[in-house]
Amino acid sequence: MNDPRTPIPASGIAQIGVSVPNVSVRGPEVPRTIEALDPVFTVSGLSVFYGDYEAVRGVDMTIGNREITAMIGPSGCGKSTVLRCFNRMNDLIPGARAAGKILYHNEDLYGDHVDPIEVRRRIGMVFQKPNPFPKSIYDNIAYGPRVNGVKGKMDDIVEEALTKAALWDEVKDKIKQNALSLSGGQQQRLCIARAIAVKPDVILMDEPCSALDPIATTKIEDLMQELSRDYTIVIVTHNMQQAARVSDRTAFFTAEVDAEGVRHGRLVEFDETSRIFTNPSDKRTEDYITGRFG
């Protein structure tokens, strides 16, 4: 079996695209999922509601420690919704609620005693559109540590975070300049640095490269590889090649219409990335990655 930490080279994908249609696999009723050995998150029976609408139904998966887990699938399949459960970002949407269970290091993330603010200090997030604050580069990085009451030399914290995000060399001479003067790719790396500065355990990334050009995307992908040594990363992406390049495990979601004609996001298959892209066990996964739909 492949080492799950080894990303598939991009050239492998092209071959997969040719080989897969020949394989005839019938999808099982229950999604094939695998257990991460050292799970950070254990999701069981997760459903997410917006008001009465069940946007995502019955997700079971595990997120392995210091792994990169990718969530892929067509628009509206609920992958971002699931991602935003991991740091309870959905709490901010009026009417949104989660049913089922998410264990974070064996602690119920939605338990009554859990403070969402404390959750978000441990589980950082990077968004689709770079969203630096309209402040200086320095203040952007220092914001998280400051609001969390971190003591210590702020200059060092800022430098360390920017270095880890591979941005320090580019900005060290203009650290007091407005963050919005940076390019889109730099802004996104700044947002990653900002998330790192609070020393999180997990970094969630919601389509972090969808607003970036290919060169900036490559830089972010390299950075993710680098960061996965120290952090657990969960990334939602529209880009299958990206999932194949960077992730250890991949979850494929799709939207399905139930008996009453209502669309729900469902997890179809969750497996090692190499297996999802070479030998998926579900026909729908196969159709999606070979470009037949989505």
Partner 1 sequence: MSAQHLKTASGASRSLARSRPRYGEVLVKAVLMLAALVSVATTVGIVFALLEPTIEFFGEVSLGEFFGSTTWGPLFNPPAFGVWPIIVATLEITLIAIVVAVPLGLAAAIYLSEYATPRVRKIFKPVLEVLAGVPTVVFGFFALTFVTPLLRDVFPFLELEAKNGLGAGLLVGVMIIPIVASLSEDSMAAVPNGLREGSYALGASKMLTSVRVVVPAAFSGIVAAIILAISRAAGETMIVAIAGGFKSVFTLYPGDEMSTMAAFIAQAGSGDASVGSIAYKTIFAVGSLLFIMTFAMNYVSARMVQKYREVYD
Contact residues for partner 1, defined by CB under 8 A: 87, 89, 92, 94, 117-118, 120-121, 124-125, 127, 129, 131-135, 143-144, 147-148, 180, 191, 194-195, 198
Rounded to a whole number of angstroms, the minimum distance from the CB of residue 244 to partner 1 is: 27
Residue at 114: amino acid letter: V
Euclidean distance between CA atoms 78 and 72, whole angstroms: 10
Shortest reach from residue 249's CB to partner 1, in Å: 23
Residue placing its CB nearer to partner 1 in the complex, 193 or 244: 193
CA distance 58 to 62: 13
Q: How far does CA 20 lie from the centroid of its chain?
A: 26
Please tell me the distance from the alpha carbon of residue 55 to that of residue 262, in angstroms, as a whole number.
9
CB 265, min distance to partner 1, A: 21
Give the residue with the Cβ less far from partner 1, 43 or 195. Answer: 195
Which of 125/267 has CB closer to partner 1?
Answer: 125
User: Smallest distance from the beta carbon of 131 to partner 1, in angstroms?
Assistant: 4
- For partner 1, the closer CB: 57 or 120: 120
Single-letter code of the amino acid located at 20 = V
Cβ proximity of 172 and 224 under 8 Å = no
d(CA 187, CA 131): 8
CB of 178 to partner 1, least distance (A): 8
- What tokens does 262 get? 């209502």
Rank residues 92 and 257 by Cβ distance to partner 1 and give the closer one.
92
E strand or H helix at 294? none
- In the chain, the N- to C-terminal Cα span, in Å, equals 29
